[in-house]
Amino acid sequence: MSVKILGIESSCDETAAAVVEDGSKVRSNIIYSQIDLHEVYGGVVPEIASRKHVEKINQVIKKAMQEADCTWEELDAVAVTYGPGLVGALLVGVSCAKALAYAKGLPLVGVNHIEGHIAANFIEHEDLKPPFMCMVASGGHSHLVYVKDYTEYEIVGRTRDDAAGEAFDKVARAIGLGYPGGPKVDKLAKEGNPEAIAFPRAHMEDAPYDFSFSGLKSAVLNYLNGCEMKKIEINRADVAASFQAAVVDVLTDNSVRAAKAYGCEKLALAGGVASNSALRARMTEACEKAGVSFYYPSPVYCTDNAAMIGVQGYHAFMAGERSGLDLNAVPNLKIGER
């Protein structure tokens, strides 16, 4: 008998629902992205995000059930992101999931969004099983995580300041690309020289796997200001490529060193930044050299989606995790916290 989970995700600016079978077969994956709405403001406006989630969530869930050709009787549980994320946005998904679980008599499973990002790797990689090392780099979070088991984690390293995606978004804004900046920097960097400008790579003396991007971000802004003052024409493609190279260097170096130190034969990427083409290429090369197998999800499973919540929901469900109808949104939920 197969286990079917309805996954619901509303932690930021994507309203998403998906039906996942046996923890890896994605029967449907519906994503309503609000990017167009927030683009004019240069970032996500929490109040607008929450209101749009309220408007869209029922339609998105209905479509996910229809596309999966799944009845409510066939479902085994409802899994929902309850943190981390924007509190108002999270509450929409959580309230909706609670109402559905109550009305349909289904178990409810609260899922950590970052654990969901990691689990996105299980969709397309049958051979990837814990333990492994995972670099989670998204717009709100950057963590190096030792995945001991499907619901057991150890944080090996973290960002001291900005998340990797946040750095991409801020630099993109500074060079006049829109929001979200990651994909735009990725594209423009292809036309630039990654060695044109020597931007800093921060290494922490006291915590060898931690990283920091605020110094890099300031260096880019200082470089741009300097050029403007000296009336030097800015080559935006070179800035994009050189900035991206600095981020990629740090993420790759820390991940591979950690994988080796922890004796991991497998290393995975997760989160929005995992779809960065330069990062994937560098990691592929470095992992090959280190004799480590490298995994990453397709772009649609890197950025926010509900299939990853259905996958992690499945593992939590199988491990016996259940949430009560008093489940609340936890904006600062930590990885592995229950």
Residues that bind ligand KG4 (CB under 6 A): 12, 138-140, 165, 168-169, 180-183, 186, 271-273, 275-276, 303-304
Q: Which is nearer to ligand KG4, 65 or 269 (CB)?
A: 269
C-beta of 185: minimal distance to ligand KG4 in Å? 6
Residue 272 CB, shortest distance to ligand KG4, in Å, is 2
- Is position 304 an interface residue for Zn ion (rule: CB under 5 A)? yes
Q: Is 169 in the site for Zn ion (CB under 5 A)?
A: no
User: Strand (E) positions, the chain?
Assistant: 4-9, 14-21, 25-33, 77-83, 108-112, 132-137, 142-149, 152-158, 266-270, 293-295
Q: Which is nearer to ligand KG4, 168 or 294 (CB)?
A: 168
Which DSSP symbol is given to 140?
Answer: S
Q: Shortest Cβ distance from residue 144 to ligand KG4 (Å)?
A: 16
Rg (CA), the chain: 20
10/275 with CB nearer ligand KG4: 275
131 interface partner picked from ligand KG4, Zn ion, none, CB below 5 to 8 A per type: none
Smallest distance, ligand KG4 to C-beta of residue 158, A = 15
Question: Between residues 44 and 216, which has the closer beta carbon with respect to Zn ion?
Answer: 44
34 belongs to the binding site for Zn ion (CB under 5 A): no
The entry of ligand KG4, Zn ion, none that residue 182 binds, CB within 5 to 8 Å by partner kind: ligand KG4
Q: Which is nearer to ligand KG4, 12 or 57 (CB)?
A: 12
- Spatial strand order in the sheet of 108-112: 25-33, 14-21, 4-9, 77-83, 108-112
Q: Is residue 81 a contact point for Zn ion (CB under 5 A)?
A: no
Other CB atoms within 10 A of residue 261 CB: 13
Cis check for the bond before 297: say yes or no (omega within 30 of 0): no
CA 59 to chain centre: 24
Least distance (Å) between residue 74 CB and Zn ion: 28
Tell me how far, at minimum, the Cβ of 202 lies from ligand KG4, in Å. 18
> Residue 106's closest CA among 140, 72, 145?
72
* Tokens, residue 280: 């994937």
Q: Which of 29, 81, 138, 159 binds Zn ion (CB under 5 A)?
A: 138
The whole-angstrom separation of Cα 239 and Cα 324 is 50
**Residue 222, amino acid:** N
Handedness of CA 250, 296, 312, 44 (dihedral sign): positive
Closest to Zn ion by CB, 61 or 136: 136
Binding residues (CB under 5 A) for Zn ion: these are 138, 304
